[in-house]
Amino acid sequence: MALDKKSIESLYQKRAKRYDFSANTYYLLGIREFAYRKMAIRALNLEKGNTVVEIGCGTGLNFKYLRKHVGPEGQIIGVDLTPEMLSVAEKRIKRNGWLNIALVQSDAAAYQFPERVDGIISTFALTLVPEYDKVIQKGAAALSPGKRFVIVDFKKSDDWPMWLLSLFVIFTRPFGVSLDLADRHLWESVRRYMALVEFKELYFGGIYLCVGETT
């Protein structure tokens, strides 16, 4: 059963300090997590000086890759539900001396996007938000014309046998993933509010990259 917000926050509160290490669990399944993160960031088509919002930024694993695209003159806004995850992200920011990253503790559904942002990204996070459609709608409204909302997340593969799906859930359950989330088709919301310019299945259909662009 899909976890509610309190359960999600409690789960990531407990996992925050060891999240970066435990995320390596994905590699046991052959998931090229960081390759997918980089792919998503490239798909944003960011330029130096741009402003980008990350929904579900967690401990800030994407920050160094985002900074390569927006430069020190750009701005990165990281939004996350869990204070403990943001605390780890804050330490990462201070350790690297990054001055252009702002952190916001907020439920994604309640977050008010700045106007005229140049990109929005979520990697392995937005599918956990029950109001994902509302988040995508608000994000699309906040993007400047021709800018992109990029999502990388899990999906149920029609090509996987049930035993493999069950094994996948066992490995990903510590991160709040369950088969119930298969009913959350975020790409349909992207298509509803933007032009869906790319939808690519990865990891034999178990992960997808979705790119929406405003007109």
| Cα(181)–Cα(184) distance, integer angstroms | 5
- Predicted pLDDT at 25: 60
Mean pLDDT of all residues in 169-182 = 65
Encode pLDDT of 79-100 as tens digits.
999 999 999 999 999 999 999 9
| Cα(35)–Cα(152) distance, integer angstroms | 11
- Predicted pLDDT at 61: 94
Looking at 47-51, 137-141, 167-171, 207-211, which range is the least confident one? 167-171
**Domain 5-213, CATH number (from 3.30.1490.20, 3.40.50.300, 3.40.50.150, 3.30.420.590):** 3.40.50.150
Relative to beta strand 75-80, strand 207-213 is unpaired
Q: Per-residue pLDDT for 30 more than 90?
A: no
- Predicted pLDDT at 178: 64
- Predicted pLDDT at 172: 63
Strands (DSSP E) found in the chain: 51-55, 75-80, 101-105, 117-123, 143-154, 195-202, 207-213
Domain ranges of the chain: 5-213
- Predicted pLDDT at 24: 61
Give the global pTM. 0.88
Phi, psi of 45 (to 5 degrees): 60, 45
